[in-house]
Amino acid sequence: MDSQPKDNLAGAAMRVEPDILYISAPVNALVEGIFQADTRLGEIRRHGDFALGTFNHLDGEMVMLDGHTYQVTGTGEVHPVSDDVCSPFAIATFFRELSRDDLAEGFSSVEDLFAKLGQLFPSENMMYALRIDGCFSLVRTRSVPRQEHYRPLVEITRNQPTFERADVEGSLIGFHTPSFMSSLNVPGIHLHFLSDDRTFGGHLLQCRARHARVRLQILRRLRMDLPTSLAYLTTDFSRDTAGDLAEAESEKKAPATPA
């Protein structure tokens, strides 16, 4: 029997558990076209101050940085988001850097960046939160226009609006997920961009940076909610969706990913 005073117990309950990745719904649900959930942003913020994802009806890209959430719309505009907006898929953590590395020479492409990040990872088999602040000579992003009618995700992501900005300071926000978790979260490195002036952002497709600082957090635990909607409860998830998700992630075949 715990004999701690009630006040201490209440304090313990309020403490934030560190280094947990929160997933609001398995990404497979999004891939299978479940674009609505009743998970409010206010709920997601209980699990992190650093997040990415999308909104109900696939209405743009979500970027949360330092506890502030932004929606990058299908026309490329960036708006702050209120806590009552709902999301069908978001991943979040309370960001606290474990390591910090300066890329003084920057990087020449997203492939070059991913190679450099790979050298910083202690292992491919862990989850990481990544924050990369830098001076970017080029950033290309995409977002998703709001979907009024159901279409398969992979079809939607074949024709996505893309946006480019040169000479922009900002942050890449994202996560690395082991490949064996691909039904729960986008496998590999998944990054969204947000400019320092909060006027440009989206799902990262390509970038070059003059210099950058990488901050890394190892996430050792996972917490995930499962949707309770009829659509989720009655969907057949036996199909292998890895190909659809990979296509949605790749710029050459499709300039987009759902979240």
What residue ranges bind Zn ion (CB under 5 A)?
Answer: 203, 257, 259
**Cβ(259)–Cβ(72) below 8 Å:** no
Query: 58 or 105, CB closer to Zn ion?
Result: 58
Q: Which helix (H) or strand (E) holds 29?
A: helix 27-31
Polymer length in residues for the chain: 259
- Site of tokens 């206010």: 42
Query: 86 or 191, CB closer to Zn ion?
Result: 191
d(CA 88, CA 101): 33
Please, what is the minimum distance in Å from the beta carbon of residue 245 to Zn ion?
11
Please, what is the minimum distance in Å from the beta carbon of residue 259 to Zn ion?
4
Query: 75 or 99, CB closer to Zn ion?
Result: 75
- Residue 88 tokens read as 């069908």
Please, what is the minimum distance in Å from the beta carbon of residue 186 to Zn ion?
7
Please, what is the minimum distance in Å from the beta carbon of residue 110 to Zn ion?
13
What's at 98, amino acid-wise?
L
**Cβ(68)–Cβ(22) below 8 Å:** no
Query: 202 or 227, CB closer to Zn ion?
Result: 202
Please, what is the minimum distance in Å from the beta carbon of residue 7 to Zn ion?
42
Query: 41 or 259, CB closer to Zn ion?
Result: 259
Q: In a 3-state reduction of DSSP, which class is residue 82?
A: coil
d(CA 53, CA 51): 7
Q: Give me the residue whose beta carbon is nearest to Zn ion.
A: 203
